[in-house]
Amino acid sequence: MMLTLNPTPAVAPAQSSTAEVSLLRLYVLRAMYLFITAGLGAVVWPSVLQAGQHWELMEGTVSCMLAAFSLLCLLGLRYPLQMLPVLLWEVLWKTLWLARVPLPQWLAGRVDPTLMASVFACSMVLLVYLAVPWGYVFNTFVRTPGARWR
């Protein structure tokens, strides 16, 4: 009886989806998650944790949503690719807001200092655009079939 070892399997195992994202890109993503977590930790969390804090409806809603977002970004330090939808949400809402709120006002010549502060804060989304591995996003969320419906 002769045993032969076949070095090449008949079916190649599926490559890990993380293999298409370089270690450097994973560190860039982690740096982005850390930047967001630290920034929101310094700006939002003190008021969230302050006892007896009184907010107007929208201010309270925004503060709590940003606090939750910072916790999800904290999770992104450990799972940078799995938490990409959180960064995609950030890209989408800030891009939409910049296009629909300040851009028309700027084109009409009606930009005030209050609006400019928000524009500056939201323009940081450019860093997220640079950090996201767009090839991976395309392959994972566009080309890969979704979960079955039945």
82-94 pLDDT tens trace: 999 999 999 999 9
Q: Is 52 left (phi over 0), alpha (psi -120 to 50) or beta?
A: left
**pLDDT for res 12:** 37
Q: What angle do CA 95, 101, 102 make, to 5 degrees?
A: 90
User: How does pLDDT run across 100-149, given as a tens digit for each residue?
Assistant: 999 999 999 988 888 998 999 999 999 999 999 999 999 999 999 999 99
Task: From 131, 108, 110, 111, select the one nearest 119 (Cα to Cα).
Answer: 111
Distance between CA atoms of residues 94 and 105, nearest Å? 16
pTM of this structure: 0.81
Distance between CA atoms of residues 146 and 46, nearest Å? 40
Q: What percent of the chain has pLDDT over 70?
A: 87
The overall average pLDDT reported for the chain is 88
Distance between CA atoms of residues 67 and 45, nearest Å? 6
Residue 17: pLDDT over 80? no
Distance between CA atoms of residues 39 and 41, nearest Å? 5
**pLDDT for res 46:** 92
